[in-house]
Amino acid sequence: MNALAGVRVLDLTRLLPGPFCTMLLADLGADVVKLEEVGGGDPTRHYPPLVGDTGSLFLMVNRNKRSLTLDLKSNDGRGLLLRLVEGFDVVVESFRPGVMERLGLGYDVLSRRNPRLVYASLSGWGQCGPYRDRAGHDLNYVALTGLLGYNVGADGQPHPLAAQVADLGGGTLAALAILAAVIARQTTGRGQCVDVSLFASAFAWLPTLATSVFATGRAYAPGTPPLSGGLAQYQVYRTADGRHLSLGALEPKFFAAFCQRVGRPDVLALDAAQARTELEHIVGERTLAEWLDCLKDVDTCYAPVNTLEEAVRDPQVAALGLVTQVEHARLGALRQIGPPFAFSDTPARVERPPPELGEHTEEVLAEIGLNPAEVSALRARGIV
């Protein structure tokens, strides 16, 4: 049995944040039906790099789901959606604010059909405020939070983050909020509307940076926050072979253990700038492989700066099952990033490959009473 067995989710999202959210729910056992546009489907189906003719990003965040195509701009399509929601616990949508209302499919309408429905809106800026209708992407959200201003090089120029903090963080927090609403429903008997914005999700990731401005009224300067360049013992250093070693020896005992191993206990008494200079010299004297051998039995915090190729082969990744695969009928074995959580009794599973566009349309519509001939007639008219 899976943790969310019996929970049904109708997924109207596309691109990255929403599909990541619903994939987490699907991995936990929810029955997720991905509703896609007739003809093209989720745009990430077509984004390079491709596996065969399908976008790798689509394949990465849409496993364990079924795919239904439906034209929500048509009266018949909207009518079918209204029938569908009667049998679902959750609807997740990621349109700009107001789009679902203009389609006649907003929370007020859907909740009348199903008062127990949890209706989750995942948008860039949220459902209110001066930026409500503004377009945006991850880079814009992290820029406005102030986070991007700390991701700077020596020249002070902010650089885009390698991971999509707002998108993936927003998708994760949306899954959390949805589950909270499902649990609340057990007490109230009613669903509710859940609003999660990518901007707010990125802002929620600021605790260690916001400490100074909240405590003193002044923000850290770039490069000075303790966990973002301010501490010599929490830094990345270049090795003799041009690789890099991360040192995360925050606690005194870990930093002392490192300095003792390298024969430089005097570094402990230096200020941050002096210690950084000394550590640059110390780490630069050995190759990365030599450092990993040197520190392997030391109780301190360190790790190589892996390439992504190295990361997916790392033994800890293997031990946690973080790289797995699922068989796709047309594309063969697809490598996947595995679920990041483990349960003793209700494990998360990668069981179903990412769906072909509309693969389960007939199956899902049969669940609300349509027969194959009716589905064929709808398909001929471009409704499904």
Catalytic machinery residues:
167
Instruction: Report the 10 Å Cβ neighbour count for 187.
Output: 7
| Rounded distance between C-alpha atoms, residue 384 and residue 382, angstroms | 6
Task: Concatenate the DSSP letters of all residues of 311-348 into one string.
Answer: HHH-HHHHHTT-EEEEEETTTEEEEEEPPS---SSS--
Euclidean distance between CA atoms 345 and 336, whole angstroms: 23
3-state secondary structure of 24: helix
* DSSP assignment string, 142-211: HHHHT-GGGSB-TT--B---SS-HHHHHHHHHHHHHHHHHHHHHHHHS---EEEEEHHHHHHTT-HHHHH
CB 125 within 8 A of CB 197: yes
Q: Encode burial over 53-63: b for 16+ CB neighbours within 10 A, e otherwise.
A: ebbebbbbbbb
Which residues lie below 8 Å from residue 179, measured CB to CB, with a gap of 6+?
Answer: 25
What is the spatial distance between Cα 206 and Cα 321, in angstroms, rounded to a whole number? Answer: 29
User: What is the per-residue burial (b if ≥16 Cβ within 10 Å, else e) of 109-126?
Assistant: bbbeebebbbbbbbbbbb
CB atoms within 10 A of CB 246: 14
Both tokens of 333, joined, read 């074995």
Q: What is the residue whose two structure tokens read 């989750």?
A: 120
DSSP 3-state of 81: helix
Rounded Cα gap, residues 53 and 72, in angstroms: 26
SS3 365: helix
> Could you tell me the two tokens for 182?
């499902």
